[in-house]
């Protein structure tokens, strides 16, 4: 099967854009939810906490996954070989084409396996 490198390049660019849009959307929800007044409904406080948790703990890891796949596609589009552990270093030679038009979203960061990087859900510590 022959891979259409132009389609892979376009898909890679779309994934980088998606990563930035994900950040922007979650940041907007988190920022705007903080202005909500709970009143007699305790669910508002839980909503605010969930939005902040997504912003602070989860969105960065999801963006890493999206951008890892985007890097794989970018490298594969240019080299037509299976990407491996060197994808990140190989991607740097093509990075400017894919990252120059990015917005204000900071670079995604994948949390480490350390216990302080784990999220507590229903009393259980889970990795994000």
Q: Is a pLDDT exceeding 70 seen at residue 128?
A: no
Element (H, E) at 5: helix 5-33
Q: Assess contact for 74 and 98: CB atoms under 8 A.
A: yes
pLDDT of residue 1: 42
Element (H, E) at 51: helix 43-53
Average pLDDT of the residues of the chain: 78
pLDDT of residue 68: 93
pLDDT of residue 113: 62
d(CA 9, CA 18): 14
Q: What is the mean pLDDT of residues 13-41?
A: 89
Q: Is a pLDDT exceeding 60 seen at residue 2?
A: no
Strands 119-121 and 124-126: antiparallel
Q: Assess contact for 27 and 60: CB atoms under 8 A.
A: no
Q: pLDDT tens, 53-102? A: 888 888 988 999 999 999 989 888 877 655 455 666 777 787 777 776 67
Global confidence as pTM: 0.61
Query: Which residues are CB-contacts of 4 (< 8 A; sequence separation ≥ 6)?
Result: none
Q: What is the mean pLDDT of residues 26-55?
A: 85
pLDDT of residue 123: 61
Structure tokens at 51: 């939005």
Which carries the bigger pLDDT value, residue 96 or residue 29? Answer: 29
């Amino acid at each position: 099967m022959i891979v259409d490198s132009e389609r892979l390049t376009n898909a890679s660019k779309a994934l980088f854009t998606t990563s930035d849009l994900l950040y922007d959307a979650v940041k907007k929800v988190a920022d705007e939810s903080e202005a909500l007044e709970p009143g007699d409904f305790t669910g508002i406080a839980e909503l605010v906490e969930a939005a902040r948790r997504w912003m602070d703990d989860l969105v960065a890891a999801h963006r890493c996954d999206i951008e890892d796949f985007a890097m794989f596609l970018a490298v594969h589009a240019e080299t037509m070989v299976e990407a491996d552990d060197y994808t990140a270093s190989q991607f740097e030679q093509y990075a400017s084409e894919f990252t120059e038009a990015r917005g204000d979203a900071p670079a995604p960061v994948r949390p480490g396996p350390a216990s302080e990087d784990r999220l507590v859900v229903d009393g259980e510590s889970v990795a994000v």
